[in-house]
Amino acid sequence: MEHISALVLAVIITAMVFDFTNGFHDTANAMATTIATGALSPRVAVAVSAVLNLAGAFLSVEVAKTISGGIIDESSGLNPAVIFAGLVGAILWNLVTWLYGIPSSSSHALFGGLIGATVVGVGMHGVHFAAVVQKVVLPALAAPLVAGVAAALATKAAARITRRAEQDAPETARRGFRAGQIATGALVSLAHGTNDAQKTMGVITLTLIAAGALPHGATPPVWVIVSAGAAMALGTYCGGWRIIRTLGSGLTDISPKQGFAAQAAATAAILSSSHLGMALSTTHVCSGAVMGAGVGRSARSVRWNVAGRMAVSWVLTLPAAALVGGGAALVADRGTAGVAAVAAVGAAVAALVFVRSRRSRVGADNVNAVDLAAPAVAPAVAVPLAAEPPARAA
Amino acid sequence: MNVDWNALGIVAGVGIASTVVLVALFCVGIAAWGRREAGSGGAAALTGAVSCFALCAAGVLYGLYLIVPQLHG
């Protein structure tokens, strides 16, 4: 570890920044429905989620191995500047989609950024496109479908089984579903930790291998696991309130029963695919599950225009991040001045997004209140959304 | 290109089946608990509810056991 250069250090720090954006982008996946139904208060929800994120990071490294050694060819002449460019592309896409409250996939942003930067900096042979299709594209199509079908079936089953209980003992049923929601929300957070924190671990490991600090095919060292998990947990704790609003009350109005079914489906899909080393997007799974839970009640309860815009952003995420990452690689590959220029532009765009976001702030206090003109006190339950799409409202 | 349809199929099957089974079990537990609260079920309803919730917890723990490689070599 003695010969870590300033550039490698910059890449590691950038990877942590990405992990932070990953955390606050994806808090919504685990906790949006729990917050929307009032099962947990917003602050408590993000705190629980952050702790479990961190715990999840230690559980398994299957997905990390998919990145370092799977999608990108470590031996193709990949250098830290290219990885840096890829990370900047991913961070910028994450920030812009957060500004508009779109639950896009942090994983796809990361893969897109890295693929674009590698193609520009190294060439087509630096990317294992077969692995991209098998480990990223196919799971991306299948995962929301599987989670959606599971959530829809589970919602229907739950409604049938508890119909009498909901009539005879409505308070008991409600309490039960809320408890179930808290438990499944915790599990999604844990699964998110095992899945997404690993992606950054994979990138840092890839950088250390590219810099020659680790041998080929190495697994992430402990300090990488700890710091990646911590960066994501911190991001999670900060809460991506804009996206939580979209997923919790923008897509469909979620009851505790549906939230429970959706989160159970999401957990099952993430954990089973994590086990097989498939780097699927937690975001796609959770959005698919929320949609499925909506369909399980009635297809009309889903706001298909919001769903449609989300689907478009899913398709765009990988190529858009690849474009930004590729452009950044073009500059960053020209030495220290290039890397500094990319860092400066990246920081400027991030600052711009932050300033822009202050104009219509969404926080723990107003995440469930869809109309920003409404009183600043958060209502206990989600206010149904009018025709106005949340991307514009937030 | 060698797509591992088998793995995808397993993820889909396991994901959907485990979701529906666990959610259904939990709901049976809620239903039993509700019967007891409503006064139409006695000790049997309570036992049923508790065993349903216990089975759910066991299922979740088994799932966690499966994804942590350190636990099974």
Task: Say if residue B9's pLDDT is above 90.
Answer: no
Residue B23, pLDDT score: 92
Which residue in this structure is represented by tokens 């960066």? A231
- According to the model, what pLDDT value does residue A66 have? 64
User: Which among B15, B37, B38 has CB closest to A150?
Assistant: B15
What pLDDT sits at residue A373? 36
Q: Tell me, yes or no, whether A372 lies in a domain.
A: no
CA distance B44 to chain A (A): 16
CB contact (8 A) between residue B33 and residue A172: yes
Q: Which residues of chain A have pLDDT under 70?
A: 1-4, 61-70, 74, 275-279, 364, 369-394
Q: Which of B10, B21, B30 to mutate to test the interface with A (most CBs of A within 10 A)?
A: B30
Report the number of distinct structural domains present in chain A: 1
Tell me the C-alpha distance between A15 and A198, whole Å.
11
CA distance between the termini of chain A: 45
- Number of Cβ atoms within 10 Å of the Cβ of A391: 19
Contacts of A147 (CB under 8 A, 6+ apart): A265, A266, A268, A269, A284, A285, A286, A288, A289, A292, B15
Give the whole-angstrom CA distance, residue A388 versus residue A367: 16
| Chain A residues inside the 8 Å CB shell of B28 | 161
Is A157 contained in some domain?
yes
Comparing CA positions, the residue from A84, A95, A96, A104 lying closest to residue A21 is: A95
> Which residues of chain A lie closer than 8 angstroms to B45, CB-CB?
none
Residue A166 belongs to a domain: yes
Amino acid at A298: S
Q: According to the model, what pLDDT value does residue B51 have? A: 92
Residue B55's pLDDT band, with cuts at 50, 70 and 90, is: very high
AA letter at A217 = G
Residue ranges of domains in chain B:
26-73
A377 assigned to some structural domain = no
Q: Which has the closest alpha carbon to A63: A283, A285, A318, A273? A: A273
Structural domain includes residue A137: yes
Say which of A139, A161, A273 has its CB closest to residue B27.
A161
On chain B, the residues whose CB falls within 8 A of the CB of A60 are 67-69
Q: Which tokens sit at A95? A: 């920030």
Residue of B14, B20, B64, B72 to mutate, interface with A, max A Cβ within 10 Å: B20
Task: Give how far A323 is from chain B: nearest CA, Å.
Answer: 25
Number of residue pairs across A and B with CB atoms under 8 Å? 137
**Chain B nearest CA to A198, separation (Å):** 13
Rounded CA gap, A301 and A179, in Å? 24
A221-230 core/surface letters (b: 16 or more CB in 10 A; e: else): eeebbebbbb
Residue A391, in any domain of the structure = no
Residue A64 confidence (pLDDT): 65
| Closest CB to A165 among B8, B30, B67 | B30
Q: How does DSSP classify residue A235?
A: H
DSSP codes, A18-48:
HHHHHHHHHHHHHHHHHHHTTSS-HHHHHHH
Residue A141's nearest CA partner among A304, A278, A277 is: A278
This complex has an ipTM of: 0.87
Q: Which two tokens stand for residue A326?
A: 């590729």
Nearest to B31 among A165, A267, A275 (CB): A165
Residue A385 counted as domain residue: no
Nearest CA-CA distance, residue A148 and chain B, Å: 9
Q: Write the residue in B12, B23, B24 that is nearest to A146 by C-beta.
A: B12
Is A1 within the bounds of a domain? no
A252: three-class secondary structure by DSSP: strand
Number of neighbours of residue A329 by Cβ within 10 angstroms: 29
What one-character-per-residue DSSP string does chain B give?
----HHHHHHHHHHHHHHHHHHHHHHHHHHHHHHHHHTTS--HHHHHHHHHHHHHHHHHHHHHHHHH-GGGG-
**Average pLDDT of the residues in B25-54:** 85
- Structure-model confidence comparison of residues A239 and B61, the more confident one: B61
CA distance B43 to chain A (A): 17
Print the domain residue range for A16.
6-363
Which pLDDT does position A387 carry in this prediction? 37
Q: What is the pLDDT of residue B22?
A: 92
What pLDDT is stored for residue A150 in this prediction? 93
- Which site among A59, A175, A275 would you substitute to test the B interface, given the most B Cβ atoms closer than 10 Å to its Cβ? A275
Distance between CA atoms of residues A181 and A183, nearest Å: 5
